[in-house]
Homo-oligomer: A and B are copies of this chain.
Amino acid sequence: MPRKVDHRERRELLADALMRLAAAEGLEKVSLRHVAAEAGVSTGMVQHYFRTKDEMMTFAYDMVTDRILERSMAASPPETPREVVRSLLLQVLPLDETRRLENHVMLAFLAYAAVKPSIASELREPAAAMRGFLADKLREAGAGHVDPERAAAGLLALVDGLGLQVLSQQYAEEQAVAALDAQLALLFGRP
């Protein structure tokens, strides 16, 4: 049995347990032992697949960003640029359980990255990519009277902030969607 395991699969199993734990009890409760218990395995196995805790953490973070991008690309049949922009931004908001989990992990990692410059740099590249993609779509949509780059950055900051407020239960999900749509209406005009 031992030789025949998929490394990637095991690591994702453990990272999923980590996410559940982080979303339910906070990042501070994430320890090798707790992750092992949540996943129903021994702590030794966790150590086998992640040599250090930091390795486990960054793997989980990378997994989350990958999944968000993946999902954003997936659910996009040929639509107008405006619809693409909206559906992408909706993928970032915590509107269902998986996205809630992802937002929790992202938030925890952002708080961590705010203090560890090494993590912060790793985080900068995918964010810039997404901003560029958004800006292109905005240009296509021809929201002529605003700078696309700035508008893209503003939209991303907006959904980040909205996600923050939804997670901390200051704001309901529908209100967040409404706020996003209001901003899109401001940029594009009424649909």
- Interface of A toward B, CB cutoff 8 Å: 23-28, 104, 107-108, 110-117, 120-121, 123-124, 127-128, 146-147, 150-151, 153-154, 156-162, 164-165, 167-171, 175, 178-179, 182-183, 186-187
Contacts and interface: CB of A to CB of B under 8 A. Distances in A.
B117 A169 contact: yes
A110 B168 contact: yes
Copies of this polypeptide in the complex: 2
Contacts of A110: 107, 164, 167-168
21 contacts: A26-B112, A26-B114, A27-B28, A104-B115, A107-B110, A110-B167, A110-B168, A111-B111, A113-B168, A113-B169, A120-B168, A124-B170, A146-B186, A147-B182, A150-B179, A153-B175, A154-B158, A156-B165, A157-B164, A158-B161, A161-B161
Q: Is the interface of A mostly helix, strand, loop or mixed?
A: helix
Contacts of A104: 114-115
A111 B114 contact: no
A169 B124 contact: yes
Given A108-B111, A111-B111, A150-B178, A157 B162 contact: yes
Contact of A150 (B111, B123, B169, B182): B182
A157 B167 CA distance: 12
